[in-house]
Structure 1
């Protein structure tokens, strides 16, 4: 080696040696949490004594003795005082702006009769401007204590509603979002019920149904895509109203310990709003948004520019939501065999299956996950078929697709193992069992219920994770109620004693994973959230008692007492 090279090498080593020998600067935590049971959902150390946080990242999780080594003069110390902490909960399937609007409009979630709906509208009419639309959501005829004297195909008719609001158009969405109820004024504005020259009302929609009485007169109930006949006439929301709804939704998430949200289907206006909220520092939630499949032009734009994976982990858009059938409550779910309580009716295919195949191929080609709504067994089978065809056609792009089926509520037994075989993730909402199971047996009959409905444990045992959630505003945004449903398979009144089809219960560990690490996996985000481990985001939910050990009968008494998002306390019960 030439002499000049030896000199240069010696000089370089002399510069490096002091750096290598010096001890690294001690990292100081901005927040130290201890004093309660901390469930990490991490297989290496499932429970720890303390967590140290620096900024918005977890610095350390383990023993209190080790954690205190990261304590400095500026470190805030949070004593859990015997309470329980988990990773921040993730709503695995919901409608974020729907959550906010529900707090602005008529919330009919807890109505128990048609008369209660009528009374709520009558009260709203008193303060409404002449001609102003009255909107709301949450009614569900199968959950009422009693049905009105006059019904058509299992639904109420508009007469009482129209009588209390003759001058204000009214449109009330079913809890499922797959049907709606209009009064006479709303139908008049939409021209529904107006006869043609031949004396025929020609308002029919493919993939939907206008419910009519024996004389062919619309009853006010619009199923699936037929809702558009009315909704296209409802004035659009103002920017001010949208901003208020957004803020209310963020606050509701924080109250319920939700730090991540999978928003199941949004359009360009909502995307623009989310981008504006993020720019203004108001996002307040880790949003994993799905592009609505109804807007083909929007999808084409995103295929060209590709997924948005936010380095700040606040707004990520890398999936597409397809709505492929309806809901069981409105008899819109697409079934292989007819409804038990409506012979000859099989539900609705609300999106052509050829479009599912096309979207699956484009999703693989452009790096987008595809998430398809399917409740009925036929819809689930048809979607699995289209996914499988796309994977077969593009095997080199199918290694880690993580395609999902949203709800996967009713499956043919032969299709249950196909989820794991194809790597398709079921995003299921356990609370739907508590709400729907008492009447769902009327729709499907005992055999179909027992062999294929709400098959959580069968899917988990097949080797595929389950993503949990509430489908808010279809159900209230209450993860504790959904956790209870997951492990008990009972109604929220605690019935039946052994739970419905108890073999399909989740364990408490499975239920917690479904709301944390498995939900993160369903969004390609298990590397940054979903468990409490060094380097992950500092999002935590703190409960009043131990969800993992408290007697089942006391689970629903659990409260979220604190929510920590991005290393900061964003909600504290009572202050």
Structure 2
């Protein structure tokens, strides 16, 4: 019986075949390599965590042999997906808080918080995900009901975009602030001269939410990894991490507890962190890349914190605001420009984009290939598009389909011409990096693909697509989620395509994104996710099927014996 043949004899037998021994062979697939010719292959071989060959089934199976082979059953395979802008760690922490996503009213939020506190009984209630634009009355909530339900327990719940916070009086008392507390780069919202409990951008910093314990942070990272692997993500660009979290990530990766590849943008909100990393220099391993700073230019459009050149169309004489002074942005940009680090700035409003593009140009002085990024690049004045010839646009397509219901109310028809203009941005730089901004949007990258290509919601609205002239093609979209995102991270030589010498990160899909009907794109699933040639996720249905097939083969072998 084959199971009784000594391992040494089997090894010798393998070598005697004249085939090169590898760790993994995948065949019978439609593999999109995303190489320069956008070639498709049937099979590939993996050794020591990297691709060593691609070709036809015959070419690979005739020349290579492996103890681990995968028959892809003619499924589509793409490189491991890269989310070019997300909040990986924050999303993991969110799993430990009250989940307010999808709530359709303020009362629904209150019900969720009461149920959460009944189960958790915490000393400080936190949550995330509310969005007044999804409610029948599209106005910011006020804290009176929170005060009545939780008179002595502090409550702080974050809006879906992370740029507004609703707190109760207990939290305000703990912070020691009132309606007259001065704020730069944010706002304390009042109504009839009374604090509503809503704090915008910099004003949120007054609320001192308890820091997670080390174990809570570890749990958050591992839970986020589990979720991301299930969607085929193998690299995430975490937009804004402090030194302690980056050190924890590095420690867990070195222990092989955390396998996800992370492009860590250092939070630029503290001068001490900027000084530390510039002095230390770029830090790079196979799984962690620390070579950029995340800076906030302004707030978000949904909370009217985005900095606009002209007033908001739905709020008289309100322009939003830059988070820092113009002088401060110049200082940061000048310091980073003198180093090898990348500057990645959140800019939503047309004023913020204008100012940051101007600041970049002054600091870089026409330096080539510095790959500084504008994160979101959401509303662009017509004259500013040309400034992206040397600046990477890093955008999140589902923002367009989330905001399309109310964005024109905020900024008017004229400014909408330069809003969510992904094709125009691509045409200027030649590449575009795509992400989700999760947990602001859903983690699911196939929704990103759908929004970029078809610019519709999941109900198929609008039928013609939202500002469809700025939609991306399927090829452009897939590149934006793989090789162009890798380029934005200075990692295009090691990932983003299925080519010899690159990390063996790939995803087996339930259906072919490049050929299925567009309406079916959101239903796509990652059947299996591989990182370094290691299977880090397999969909439960497939696991069950594989186990059944193995059992059938065992029974057949026993019968023949």
TM-score clears 0.5:
yes
| Residue number among 484, 488, 494 corresponding to 1:522 in the alignment | 488
CA RMSD of aligned residues (A): 1.4
How far residue 566 of structure 1 moved from its aligned partner, in angstroms, is 1.1
Confirm or deny: 8 A CA contact 1:179 1:224 kept in the other structure: yes
**What TM-score do the two structures reach when normalised by structure 2?**
0.91
2:51 matches 1:58:
yes
1:414 corresponds to: 383
How far residue 128 of structure 1 moved from its aligned partner, in angstroms, is 4.0
| Residue number among 160, 170, 194 corresponding to 1:185 in the alignment | 170
How far residue 51 of structure 1 moved from its aligned partner, in angstroms, is 1.2
Q: Deviations over 1:295-324 (max 9, x none)?
A: 1111111111211122xx201100011111
| Number of residue-to-residue matches in the alignment | 524
The 3 A distance-change label for structure 1 pair 191 and 128 is farther
The 3 A distance-change label for structure 1 pair 387 and 83 is same
Gaps of 5+ in 2: 1-17, 544-561
Instruction: State the SS of the aligned residue for 1:357.
Output: helix
1:10 corresponds to: none
| Residue number among 198, 203, 206 corresponding to 2:181 in the alignment | 203
Q: Deviations over 1:175-228 (max 9, x none)?
A: 1111111122212222334xxxxxxx43131111110111x2110100010001
Q: Distance in 2 between matches of 1:272 and 1:495?
A: 44
Q: Deviations over 1:507-534 (max 9, x none)?
A: 0000100100000000000010001111
Q: Distance in 2 between matches of 1:126 and 1:432?
A: 34
Gaps of 5+ in 1: 1-24, 149-153, 194-200
| Residue number among 393, 397, 412 corresponding to 1:430 in the alignment | 397
How far residue 471 of structure 1 moved from its aligned partner, in angstroms, is 0.4
Alignment of 1:455-534 (within 5 A): 455-534=421-500
| Residue number among 133, 136, 139 corresponding to 2:127 in the alignment | 136
Q: Distance in 2 between matches of 1:503 and 1:139?
A: 31
1:217 corresponds to: 194
The 3 A distance-change label for structure 1 pair 45 and 431 is closer
2:535 matches 1:545:
no
Instruction: State the SS of the aligned residue for 1:28.
Output: strand
Confirm or deny: 8 A CA contact 2:184 2:324 kept in the other structure: no
2:70 matches 1:78:
yes
Q: Distance in 2 between matches of 1:472 and 1:45?
A: 29
Instruction: State the SS of the aligned residue for 1:263.
Output: strand
Alignment of 1:260-279 (within 5 A): 260-279=235-254
Q: Distance in 1 between matches of 2:538 and 2:347?
A: 37
Q: Distance in 2 between matches of 1:263 and 1:237?
A: 18
Confirm or deny: 8 A CA contact 1:289 1:319 kept in the other structure: yes
2:465 matches 1:536:
no
How far residue 473 of structure 1 moved from its aligned partner, in angstroms, is 1.0
Q: Distance in 2 between matches of 1:207 and 1:357?
A: 16
Q: Distance in 2 between matches of 1:128 and 1:290?
A: 32
2:102 corresponds to: 110
Q: Deviations over 1:428-480 (max 9, x none)?
A: 0001011111111110111211x101111111222431111110111111101
Instruction: State the SS of the aligned residue for 1:497.
Output: coil
Alignment of 1:2-401 (within 5 A): 27-72=20-65, 74-129=66-121, 132-144=123-135, 146-147=136-137, 154-193=139-178, 201-214=179-192, 216-230=193-207, 232=208, 234-310=209-285, 313-392=286-365, 395=366, 398-401=367-370
Confirm or deny: 8 A CA contact 1:259 1:565 kept in the other structure: yes
Q: Distance in 1 between matches of 2:283 and 2:499?
A: 25
1:440 corresponds to: 407
Confirm or deny: 8 A CA contact 1:433 1:491 kept in the other structure: no
2:15 corresponds to: none
How far residue 45 of structure 1 moved from its aligned partner, in angstroms, is 4.9
Confirm or deny: 8 A CA contact 1:323 1:374 kept in the other structure: yes
Confirm or deny: 8 A CA contact 1:308 1:318 kept in the other structure: yes
Q: Deviations over 1:502-557 (max 9, x none)?
A: 11110000010010000000000001000111111000012100111111111111
Instruction: State the SS of the aligned residue for 1:546.
Output: coil
1:4 corresponds to: none
Instruction: State the SS of the aligned residue for 1:223.
Output: strand
Instruction: State the SS of the aligned residue for 1:237.
Output: coil
Q: Distance in 1 between matches of 2:299 and 2:386?
A: 23
Instruction: State the SS of the aligned residue for 2:29.
Output: strand
Q: Distance in 2 between matches of 1:46 and 1:92?
A: 24
Q: Deviations over 1:4-50 (max 9, x none)?
A: xxxxxxxxxxxxxxxxxxxxx96422111122211111123521111
